[in-house]
Chains A and B, each alone.
Chain A
């Protein structure tokens, strides 16, 4: 099965990239998404990335690490990553796994995430 057929769409709106994960994440998909996002940042020169994981009901340590790694990678490419809409169960799992994601910004929903990015960009 070719995983490339199942790409997660990345939408560019003004200076932001919006990624809404609506399928179950498996390891290869997560890595592919990471590359894809970084390439998009490079191609479009986006200043912020919003990743919506509100439909993700399960996050394992690998996905958690990929997400937090992605934020650091984007940061050195001068793009802020905000993870949006994490489920309480997912948050508890990540904390129990010791993945506290330092340095990753989070927001309750897409709207607040967008506001957060705007504030950040205005400051800079």
Chain B
């Protein structure tokens, strides 16, 4: 009779443990197994309680970590957006082609050149040559710190493409470092007209267009004839 009661009790307690475990599985971590009497099952119950405690702790930790990671990810995405925006801005700002005199265009290049930028530069310059009808273009690379083979190749292509359109392209402002690199790389720039400074390129262009005769500026669109240079 007594044994029967014990088995019944044990059954009830095991059922209780099962209930608690299924609650935990469903996500309720505050629940614990409570027992009034001490016997063989108490150890098991306590162990399960401890396990639930650990589980709760770990879960909390991982949730916090996930939040941290998401926060960082958001920050990185924001930064990425800013970088892309700035790159776009830089692209727009980086290749202005301006008409400085009758028949003369200037493209000042500042900063490091990469293939994409030189490509955009080339397109801008060619479109501007066609739209303004200028036959002389000065490519000023004073602000370029270094060039590599690819960039030099692109410069050559730009000059050749401008020639195919019927415009002459002068490269000015080649720094000592760039000159050294170009010669060391074995790039032949001899069929490109190069001038030391933007000033000498400008003077050359104006002389060629007969806008500068004997040190005097001639223009046919204003009264500022005979400016002493």
Contact = CB atoms under 8 A, between A and B. Distances in A.
Interface of A: 83-88, 90-92, 94-96, 100-101, 106-109, 112-113
B122 A92 contact: yes
Task: Report whether over half of chain A's contact residues are helix, strand or loop; otherwise say mixed.
Answer: mixed
Contact of B157 (A83, A87, A95, A107): A95
Nearest to B162: A91
B165 A86 contact: yes
Residue of A86, A87, A88, A92 ringed by the most chain B CB atoms within 10 A: A88
Given A86-B165, A106-B163, A106-B166, 14 more contacts: A83-B164, A86-B164, A88-B127, A88-B129, A88-B130, A88-B161, A90-B164, A94-B164, A95-B161, A95-B164, A108-B129, A108-B130, A108-B135, A109-B166
Given A91-B126, A108-B130, A109-B133, A84 B160 contact: no
B166 A86 contact: yes
A84 B167 CA distance: 11
Contact of A113 (B129, B130, B166): B166
Contacts of B160: 95, 100
A92 B161 contact: yes
Task: Report whether over half of chain B's contact residues are helix, strand or loop; otherwise say mixed.
Answer: helix
B179 to A, nearest CB: 23
Contacts, number: 54
Given A91-B126, A92-B126, A96-B157, A112 B166 contact: yes
A55 to B, nearest CB: 13
Residue of B126, B127, B129, B133 ringed by the most chain A CB atoms within 10 A: B126
B123 interface: yes
A106 B166 CA distance: 4
B164 A101 contact: yes
Interface in B177-213: none
B160 to A, nearest CB: 5
Contacts of A83: 164, 166
Contacts of B157: 92, 95-96
Interface string B135-174: 1000000000000000000000100111111110000000
B32 to A, nearest CB: 75
A86 B164 CA distance: 7
B133 A91 contact: no
A91 B163 CA distance: 9
Nearest to A107: B166
Given A108-B135, A109-B133, A112-B135, A91 B165 contact: yes
Contacts of A95: 157, 160-161, 164
